[in-house]
Amino acid sequence: MVQFLRNHAQVLMGVYGDVQRVKILYNKKDSALIQMAEPYQAYLAMTHLDKLRIWNKTIRVMPSKHQAVQLPKEGQPDAGLTRDYAQNPLHRFKKPGSKNYQNIYPPSATLHLSNIPATVTEDEIKEAFTKNSFEVKAFKFFPKDHKMALIQLSSIEEAVCALIKMHNYQLSESNHLRVSFSKSNI
């Protein structure tokens, strides 16, 4: 449960900024402290994710009185509650001026997919989503760039779950799917 919550929080919050550390609270295992790389990223995550419904629950995202998530001291037991993601290769905003900064949107039923190899077909992508229990309502490759596509799911809640599950999904030996929320509909 702890690893599940920690990893899913890192992926979902990572849509809005680079997650540095996640600490599951010892006495409240359904709560976590999440440290973002920049205060503005934390603000974006809070703005877009507070009161979001996921897995039939409403999540709360609010500021903490703590300025940073402390790693356990060397040799101190932690029970796997704290994880450092500072060097995570999946950070979306590590490059200054990245286009990712211009494409931050609130959760929606339509997801933006990128890093799609030229050899992968529409049916293969739709099958990847359906075999992971997501109902695909519509799909469309970008006309000028088949490395990107939009996929529409049945609800915002399902799209949030799909983003968490399908971000970094392996499409080929060297390509992992990148998933974010879209402002567009299909």
Query: What's the pLDDT at 76?
Result: 76
Query: What's the pLDDT at 3?
Result: 58
Statement: residue 61 has pLDDT above 60: yes
Are 61 and 117 part of one and the same domain? no
CATH code: domain of residue 120: 3.30.70.330
CA–CA distance, 152 with 137 (Å, rounded to integer) = 5
CA–CA distance, 94 with 89 (Å, rounded to integer) = 9
- Answer whether residue 154 is part of any domain: yes
pLDDT tens per residue, range 3-45: 556 678 899 999 999 999 999 988 888 889 999 999 999 999 9
CA–CA distance, 160 with 19 (Å, rounded to integer) = 17
Tell me which residue range forms the domain holding 8: 1-66
Q: 13: which 2 tokens?
A: 């919050």
Q: Which residue has the tokens 């990148």?
A: 178
Domain count, the chain: 2
What average pLDDT does the chain have?
91
Long-range contact set of residues 50-57: C-beta below 8 Å, sequence gap at least 24:
52/107, 52/156, 52/160, 53/156, 53/157, 54/157, 54/160, 54/161, 55/161
For residues 54-78, average pLDDT: 88
- Answer whether residue 37 is part of any domain: yes
Tell me the pTM. 0.90
Of 13, 44, 66, which residue sits at a domain end? 66
- Answer whether residue 35 is part of any domain: yes
- Answer whether residue 10 is part of any domain: yes
